Structure 1
Amino acid sequence: MTAIDVPPQAPQSPRRDRAELGTALRVFGALLSRDFYVTGKDLSGFLVKTLLQPFLMLFIFGKVLADLGFIAPGFAQLLFPGVIALNGFLGALQATAMPMVMDFSFTKEIEDRLLAPVSMSVVALEKVVFGALRGLMSGVVMIPIGFLILDGVSWDPAGLLPAFLMLVMCSLAAAGVGMVMGTFVPPAKIDIVFTATLTPLMFTGATQFPWHGLAHLPWFQFVCALNPLTYASEGMRDVLLDNSVQTIPYWLCSVALVGMTAVFVVLGTIGFKRRAVS
């Protein structure tokens, strides 16, 4: 049998690379704009889902119990950054996971997006970014509410920008977790998985207590160290509060969140592609 010589393909030109990148960016922007347009049409529902639970947590634990003398002075100062991180985390996770379940199983809306002239990875990344932005908004809107509710809360102004960046990293990590849940969990079991996942995430994320304070419970401290929310809560406290509370260093929290985000986004993209072709 005579071998057939296949002429080598010419390398792709830089102009074509730029054209494909431009197309991907335009499609990405269009998908993102549409998701925000849909969110804007249900703004009241978004605000209720975003604000109700953290508002009550701040009011009961930071205001009512403090006024009654059942919690130590300064607890609101510790609680506030944790609740902001918690709200951003849950907002991003839910804004990514639930649409994935709906789009793939019920509305089939994702099929229209997959017809866009870009790779499936771009569509998956847009879902992660949108979920992260929703989470970021959920965390930011709690800041003025917390200052109105809580007494004796003060922040270091120099820590505002680092805290905002930490909230961005927190939201991206949560969106990655949401993408994994929304693509790997069967739709019929998503309610069970949410119930079994969200509550442990809320109470092992060091939102109501400092991580170093768990030294007498090393097993629980280890469990909390596996939760990306822990690093968001501790990282925000590290830059916003004074040195009266020992926290995980900001740089270590950043490294942990970036690493976890990379793992979850890669796994979520794999799950997205698997669901898209099934």
Structure 2
Amino acid sequence: MTAAARTATFPRQQSSRQAAWHAYRALTARDLHVLGRNLPAVLAQVGLQPLLFTFAFAYVMPSIGTGLGGATSFSTILLPGLLASTLTLQSIMSVTGPLAAELGPGREITDRALAPLPVRVLGLQKITSSAIFGLISSLVVVPIVWLVHPPGAAPEAHVGNWPLLLVTLVLSALLASTLGLLLGTAIDASAFGALLGLLLAAATMLGCVYYPWTALHSIGWVQVLTLANPLVYMSEGLRANLTPTSGHMPTWAYLTALTLGTAALGHVALRRFTRRVRT
């Protein structure tokens, strides 16, 4: 290639990258605008389940002498777990719900595919938008768990390393959103609601939401079995950063799982997404 040809090609490549970046930002801004417009209703809907659960298990049961926390208040145990489960649920649902409609008979995904973006980057944009939604939604849990408890049973939370907490939150949101994209491309639309609900229920019950992973040492086979659940690493990561006195998985373990899990699931999910959009 001559020098003149290389000089002419570079501006075109730069212009293409700029157009793709503008399209990426525009799609993300649109998603956030829709979220902001409906934010009060969305937050009320998101907060209802955590509120009811916290009221029943962190307020009513301790008040009548049947609490689950032992020496540590159940509010302390519940805070990171419920934060992780809400983040996971909302991150997954915010990508799987719209994706099921876009990949349906109407093929609405074609409109987004017309943007000057590679299809894989379009999938990545869906992951990042749903991760932001999950992070915003999870913030609803903090005041609920902090305020709803019997006298003297407030959660004992302490953040010793804010950068590590933020990294854990971001990785958890990205892992959940990536999992949502994978489920949205793998589950048939006709069985989508029932199967997704079953998977999320099983993941929550065995996701160390209501108990620390270290507490399972007496039933070792269950402790090993839960390691296949991505929610375990989110719950334990937040537990390590918010309520370390309640016991938690080693930092290297949950960070490695969150990082490698996001990369591996992201690779598979983006490949499936690309294939579904192009077929």
TM above 0.5: yes
Q: Which amino acid aligns with 2:48?
A: L
> For residues 13-24 of structure 1, what are the structure 2 equivalents within 5 Å?
14-24=10-20
Q: Which one of 164, 172, 175 corresponds to residue 173 of structure 1?
A: 175
Which AA in structure 1 matches 2:272?
G
Superposed displacement of residue 38, structure 1 = 2.1
1:225 Cα shift? 0.8
The offset of 1:15, in angstroms, is 4.2
Partner residue, 2:186: 184
Residue 103, structure 1, aligned to residue 102, structure 2: yes
User: What's 1:79 paired with?
Assistant: 78
Kept in 2: contact 1:176–1:264 (CA 8 A): yes
CA distance in 1, matches of 2:114, 2:58: 49
Residue in 2 aligned with 1:269? 270
For residues 158-201 of structure 1, the C-alpha deviation after alignment (integer angstroms, 9 at most, x for no partner) is: 24442232121111111111101111211111123213201111
Which sections of structure 1, spanning at least 5 residues, go unmatched?
A: 1-6
1:68 and 2:64 correspond: yes
Distance 1:245 1:148 in 2: 19
CA distance in 2, matches of 1:147, 1:16: 54
Q: Secondary structure at the match of 1:105?
A: coil
Q: Given that residues 76 and 246 in structure 2 are in contact (C-alpha distance below 8 angstroms), is that contact kept between their aligned partners in structure 1?
A: no
- Specify the SS of the correspondent of 2:218: coil
Match of residue 208 from structure 1: 210
Counterpart for residue 141 of structure 1: 140
Report if aligned partners of 1:160, 1:240 keep a CA contact under 8 Å in 2. no
Q: Using a 3 Å threshold, how does the CA distance of structure 1 residues 107 and 56 change in structure 2: closer, same or farther? A: farther
**TM-score where L is the length of structure 1:** 0.89
Distance 1:268 1:16, change over 3 A: same
Measured at CA, do residues 40 and 246 of structure 1 come closer, stay the same or move farther in structure 2, by a change above 3 Å?
closer
Whether 1:130 aligns to 2:132 is: no
| TM-score (normalised: structure 2) | 0.89
Number of matched pairs = 270
Distance 1:163 1:241 in 2: 11
Q: Which runs of 5+ in 2 are unaligned?
A: none
Q: Distance in 1 between matches of 2:201 and 2:16?
A: 43
- 1:258 equivalenced with 2:259 (yes/no): yes
SS of aligned partner of 2:157: coil
Alpha-carbon separation, structure 2, partners of 1:41 and 1:246: 40
CA deviation string 1:13-68 (max 9, x = no partner)? 55444333222211111001111222233334422331111111222111111112
Task: From the superposition, tell whether residues 157 and 55 of structure 1 become closer, same or farther in structure 2 (CA, over 3 Å).
Answer: same
Q: Counterpart of 1:4?
A: none
- The RMSD of aligned alpha carbons is 2.1
Kindly provide the CA deviation profile for residues 133-168 of structure 1, in whole angstroms up to 9, marking residues without a partner as x: 111111122212221223422322324442232121
Flag the 1:215–1:101 CA change in 2: closer, same or farther, 3 A.
same
* Cα distance in 2, alignment partners of residues 94 and 107 from structure 1: 20
CA distance in 1, matches of 2:163, 2:266: 25
| C-alpha distance in 1 between matches for 2:147 and 2:16 | 48
Report what 1:3 is aligned to: none
Alignment partners' CA distance in 2, 1:224 and 1:192: 22
Shift of 1:85: 0.9
- Counterpart CA distance in 2 for 1:14 and 1:196 is 51
Q: Do residues 33 (structure 1) and 34 (structure 2) align? A: no
The answer to whether the Cα contact below 8 Å between 1:139 and 1:167 also exists between their aligned partners in 2 is: no
